[in-house]
A and B are shown apart, each in its own frame.
Chain A
Amino acid sequence: MNLVEVKSLSKRFGNEQAVDGISFELAEGSATALIGPNGAGKTTTLSMLAGLLEATDGEIQRKKNLTIGFLPQYPRFFPWLSALEFTEMAAKLSGVDAKKARQQSERTLGFVGLHQVAHKKIGGFSGGMKQRLGLAQAIVHQPSVLLLDEPISSLDPTGRREVMELLKSLLGQTTVLYSTHILNDAEEMTDQLLFLKNGRLVEQGSLSQVRRRYEDPHIRVRFENTDAAEWFVREAPWPTSVKGTAAVIPVKAEGPAIQDVFRFLSVKSLPVIGVEHETASLEDIFLKVVAGK
């Protein structure tokens, strides 16, 4: 069941078309990654979904009584409030009863690991603590859809891992849409990928669907020097190309299996360093889809 349906959504700022007719759905309980380079329109899309911006064209159909939690890329807080005071206010503004707001705030701050500083002023928080508090204010009212703008890209590796674990524990309970340019994250938690480029959706689908479309399997034979690679390309019975000191053999229906390559190499005495079977990583796919390489 779809909680949100986006239909040919567009946003124009003056002459600049920030988002250009994108359509997608958010199924209940799913995790969707919005992938694209800086300036692709990720934040604008999320802002429209969060209700901060009005669309120029198209529409967003939300399920009735849909509640939203939103974490901006750089959440900014009132420095003179404590973490608990802020979370409690956030819950109340989202319609949670006063009594429950307190309980849920305490529980949520515990969940994101801020219970020890719950009564400290936010003004003294580090970047990582603010990011956790940002997550807390986004989930304290138990929203049906969680929108996260680059939730972890500003964190150091440790903080990134911790926040990833928190997000993963939310999957399944909540519908999540998050933007990112760190593709390992997307690989770890996603049901749907949306590739955004210049405001347009250039590719979408599940991780395995996108993989299949772009996986481009090949065997890479790495040599000590370019001469050996060039010799290999001339002599090998398969269509092969040179890339640096390696020879790359596309694996197609008529192409060789890796055993054939081994057999061929075993009778020649070439300075081989390694033979690998490779498919495109999400990063390769990103470069291909978004940067057009």
Chain B
Amino acid sequence: MKQFSALLLKEWRENLRNYKIFWIPIVFILLGITEPLSNYYLPQILDATGGLPEGAVIELPDPEPEQLMVAVMGQFQLIGMLVLVLAYMGSIAGERRNGTATLLYVRPLSYVSYFLSKWLMASAVALLSVWAGFLAGYYYTAVLFSAVPFGEFLAFAATYSVWIVLVVTLVLFASASMPNGGLAAGLTLAALLILQLIHSLFGSQWDWSPFRLPNYAASFLDIGPDAVALAWTLALSLVCLLILATMGIWFAKRNRAKTKV
């Protein structure tokens, strides 16, 4: 516990002094407000980019606020995810590679505390970012169009939060097992893309898969997901998270000899 708090303090200072705690949420906020803003100003944007041909009449129906929130989530799934992967790919591999880990590893270090301190800090920043981004999107959607029911919004964001924490755990596992940050990012993105592909090819019946989490989050804005399927998905996600974290801790310890002396 003493080690955990000392390491967590170090992670906090790193995220604070490298400004990760500021710039990552700002990226998510920008992603969150872009969707409602660009939809609202679509006529002006069309005009500015050359306009429509003379005489063409186009009716732009107001988008549903639910659609906008799902579109925000789509941005998070692409750009937001990439930002998180790039920001945390070096958490462990980078420390090993630049040799700063050596002065930690020569102590009677608890690798559980070591991994979990990084996991907790990265998850906190990711959650802060996701919620800040969703709230910004929610606010602009409500101001420019109409509000999504707040209860539905909360369920939506909470379900997506589980997914994002799972992704953070995957990034840290990759960083613990791979020799450098670039390969850790590669492994994470490859795993996400390949599993996503397999999922869309064969997974129409896989109602309990963690890859369904973003879909279930979105369906909270609609008719709501099947409660049983959601419960099983959450349970399975937790199991995946525990497996990834355990393997991450094991790899972090095993790879300690690879630190630069």
Contact = CB atoms under 8 A, between A and B. Distances in A.
A54 B257 CA distance: 8
Given A52-B256, A85-B13, A93-B109, A77 B103 contact: yes
Contacts of B39: none
A66 to B, nearest CB: 10
Contact of B261 (A72, A88, A97, A134): A72
Interface residues of A, number: 31
Interface stretch (B2-10, B146-154, B195-203): B2-10
Interface string B85-105: 000000000000011101111
A149 to B, nearest CB: 7
Given A90-B107, A93-B109, A78 B99 contact: no
Given A80-B18, A92-B6, A93-B6, A52 B107 contact: no
B139 to A, nearest CB: 33
Given A47-B261, A73-B261, A90 B10 contact: no
Interface string A79-119: 01100010011101111011000000000000000000000
A223 interface: no
A103 to B, nearest CB: 16
Contacts of B259: 52
Contacts of B18: 80
Contacts of B9: 89
A274 to B, nearest CB: 46
A43 B13 contact: no
A182 interface: no
B103 A149 contact: no
A72 to B, nearest CB: 5
B10 A149 contact: no
B107 A76 contact: no
Contacts of B5: 92
B14 A80 contact: yes
Nearest to A67: B108
A93 B98 CA distance: 20
Nearest to A68: B106
Contacts of A286: none
A94 B108 contact: yes
Given A52-B105, A90-B107, A94-B108, A43 B3 contact: no
A74 to B, nearest CB: 7
Nearest to A53: B257
Contacts of A155: none
B3 A93 contact: yes
A72 B261 CA distance: 6
Contact of A70 (B10, B100, B106): B106
Contacts of A207: none
Nearest to B257: A53
A75 interface: yes
B100 A76 contact: yes
Interface string B180-201: 0000000000000000000000
A157 interface: no
B261 A149 contact: yes
A50 interface: yes
Given A52-B257, A54-B257, A78 B10 contact: yes
B115 to A, nearest CB: 14
A76 B99 contact: yes
A137 interface: yes
A52 B261 contact: yes
Contact of A95 (B99, B106, B108, B257): B108
B2 A98 contact: yes
A19 to B, nearest CB: 14
Contacts of B103: 70, 72, 75-77, 90, 134, 137
A78 B100 CA distance: 6
Interface in A42-57: 43, 47, 50-54
- Of the candidates B6, B14, B103, B104, the one having the most CB atoms from chain A within 10 angstroms of its own CB is B103
A119 to B, nearest CB: 13
Interface string A245-276: 00000000000000000000000000000000
Interface string B1-40: 0110111011001100110000000000000000000000
A140 to B, nearest CB: 11
A94 B10 CA distance: 15
13 contacts: A43-B261, A51-B106, A52-B261, A68-B106, A72-B261, A77-B100, A78-B14, A81-B13, A89-B9, A90-B107, A92-B2, A93-B104, A95-B108
Given A72-B103, A76-B103, A90-B107, 8 more contacts: A51-B106, A52-B106, A72-B102, A78-B10, A80-B13, A80-B18, A93-B104, A95-B108
Interface of B: 2-3, 5-7, 9-10, 13-14, 17-18, 98-100, 102-109, 256-257, 259-261
Interface of A: 43, 47, 50-54, 68, 70, 72-78, 80-81, 85, 88-90, 92-95, 97-98, 134, 137, 149
